[in-house]
Amino acid sequence: MNKKISLGLAISLIAIAMAVTFILTSFFSLQSFNRKVMDVNEKSKKYGALELLDTYVRENYSGKINETELSGGILKGYVSGLGDKYSRYLTADEYITEKNNSSGEVVGLGFTMTEDESGYIRISDILPDSPATESGIVEGDIITYVEGVDVKEAGFKVSVEAMSGTEGTPINLKIRRKGKDQDFTFVRRSIIEKSVKGEMLASRIAYITISDFKSNTPGQFIDVLDRLISNGAKGIVFDLRDNDGSVIEAAEECLNPLLPEGVMATAEFKDGHSETIVYSDESELDLPMAVIINSGTQGAAELFTAVLADCGKAVAVGSQTYGKGVYQTINEMSDGGAVILTVAEIKTASGDTYNGIGITPEVPVDDTDEGYDAPYYKAVEVVTSKIQ
């Protein structure tokens, strides 16, 4: 039997439904509004305190304020306040340096610098085909003056920064060797950094050293790998000790020819979603492998090691790695600077993470004897034992 309701009742029901909808909408909107107001109030307190500090400093500081450095310092402080040792803000100049370093092509003189115990700059790791090599600079030389300024008085950081410059420009250095100082004039130029070296051992094992993972590393890696395989390599030892590479994409490209097809590593974000960071195609190198690692192995180098070990392609030999298993993005800011921000944690295909833990080698080897490279010989032994 059909039941009918009067027009008046229908209108009343509609009105009630509309009222309930309005009340519920208003309630949740009010809650959302209150949360936003609280958020605005909290932010107002924070930035209000900063404004008060700025006013006080400008009215009372006795020195001259460098607005560019002040702005950069504020932004650095904000990112530093996150408490994450990997996230950082870069000024415009620092960002340019970061991009150049990551590319594997730098403008400079072609050597690494460390602070000597004397307070001066010690030269090491001289690159071939560089201004330093052509001028006869050798490892252990000491830089005492940069453009007429005493390094000890200026400080290590300031002196190193003074040596950076544009390609084609000259720089004057005073260099001490065996107690005698000599003046040198160099011309800065673009230098391609070699991050991959390889040699064939007598046992037909390819020994490949990867000192860093930069944007140009994959090309060098493939060239070295192809050459050694063509020459009859029956196994491979990768040496990643003290490799603190930061370009994850470079590690992925190097891994691709070594692995079976599939997703090998992902970045896990705090909202629960994940993104693939290592995917390998169907090509796969079927040779026994080992990776030598130590406490200086971190970042992209740990990813390279973890993926190979996780899918059973290589044996890790050496000592515990650093434990930097985070995925980061670089976002350029309007002032020309950039923020490098940790946005996710890296996990291998099996779901394991090495972040904050490091990678424990399958074959631990003590590396304290400077006269004997035990991890190297153990890695060669491990690979040799697996050759058919």
> 210, 254 in Cβ contact below 8 A?
yes
Q: Mark whether 45 and 160 lie in a shared domain.
A: no
Give the E-state strand segments of the chain in sequence order.
88-90, 105-108, 112-115, 121-124, 142-146, 149-150, 170-177, 180-187, 189-192, 196-200, 205-210, 235-239, 262-269, 274-280, 289-293, 314-318, 326-332, 338-348, 363-364
User: pLDDT tens digits, residue range 63-106?
Assistant: 999 988 888 898 999 999 999 999 999 998 889 888 888 998 88
- Predicted local distance difference test score (pLDDT) of residue 1: 47
Tokens of 300: 């992209």
Position 192 pLDDT exceeds 90: no
> 108, 191 in Cβ contact below 8 A?
yes
Q: Mark whether 253 and 127 lie in a shared domain.
A: no
CA 242 to CA 209: how far, in whole Å? 11
- What is the mean pLDDT of the segment spanning 12-30? 66
Q: Is residue 91 part of a domain?
A: no
Q: Is residue 84 part of a domain?
A: no
Q: Helix count (H) and strand count (E) of the chain?
A: 10, 19
Q: Is residue 340 part of a domain?
A: yes
Residue 277: how many other CB atoms lie within 10 Å: 20
Q: Mark whether 299 and 369 lie in a shared domain.
A: yes
Q: Mark whether 251 and 340 lie in a shared domain.
A: yes
Q: Mark whether 187 and 251 lie in a shared domain.
A: no
Q: Is residue 149 part of a domain?
A: yes
**pTM score of the predicted model:** 0.79
Residue that finishes a domain, picked among 125, 160, 192: 192
Position 327 pLDDT exceeds 70: yes
User: pLDDT tens digits, residue range 224-278?
Assistant: 999 999 999 999 999 999 999 889 999 999 999 999 999 999 999 999 999 999 9
Which residue(s) pair with 170 in the sheet? 187
Q: Mark whether 232 and 322 lie in a shared domain.
A: yes
- Window from 151-160, 316-325, 343-352 with minimum mean pLDDT: 151-160
- Predicted local distance difference test score (pLDDT) of residue 54: 86
Position 34 pLDDT exceeds 60: no
Q: Mark whether 257 and 315 lie in a shared domain.
A: yes
Q: Is residue 99 part of a domain?
A: no
Q: 168: domain range? A: 105-192
Residue the block writes with tokens 């009105």 = 15
> Residue 31's pLDDT band (boundaries 50, 70, 90)?
low
CATH number at residue 373: 3.90.226.10
- What is the mean pLDDT of the segment spanning 111-119? 90
Residue that finishes a domain, picked among 192, 218, 238: 192
Residue that finishes a domain, picked among 132, 166, 192: 192
Q: Is 293 helix (H, G, I), strand (E, B) or coil?
A: strand
The one-letter amino acid at 70: L
CATH number at residue 163: 2.30.42.10
Q: Mark whether 245 and 381 lie in a shared domain.
A: yes
Residue 139 φ/ψ, nearest 5 degrees: -60, 135
Q: Is residue 157 part of a domain?
A: yes
Q: Mark whether 285 and 184 lie in a shared domain.
A: no
Domain count along the chain: 3
CA 34 to CA 295: how far, in whole Å? 49
Q: Mark whether 166 and 26 lie in a shared domain.
A: no
User: pLDDT tens digits, residue range 331-344?
Assistant: 999 989 999 999 99
- Predicted local distance difference test score (pLDDT) of residue 171: 95
CA 215 to CA 247: how far, in whole Å? 7
Q: Is residue 76 part of a domain?
A: no
Q: Mark whether 129 and 241 lie in a shared domain.
A: no
Q: Mark whether 287 and 303 lie in a shared domain.
A: yes
Per-state percent for the chain, helix, strand, coil, to nearest 5: 35, 25, 35
- Predicted local distance difference test score (pLDDT) of residue 234: 97
Q: Is residue 121 part of a domain?
A: yes
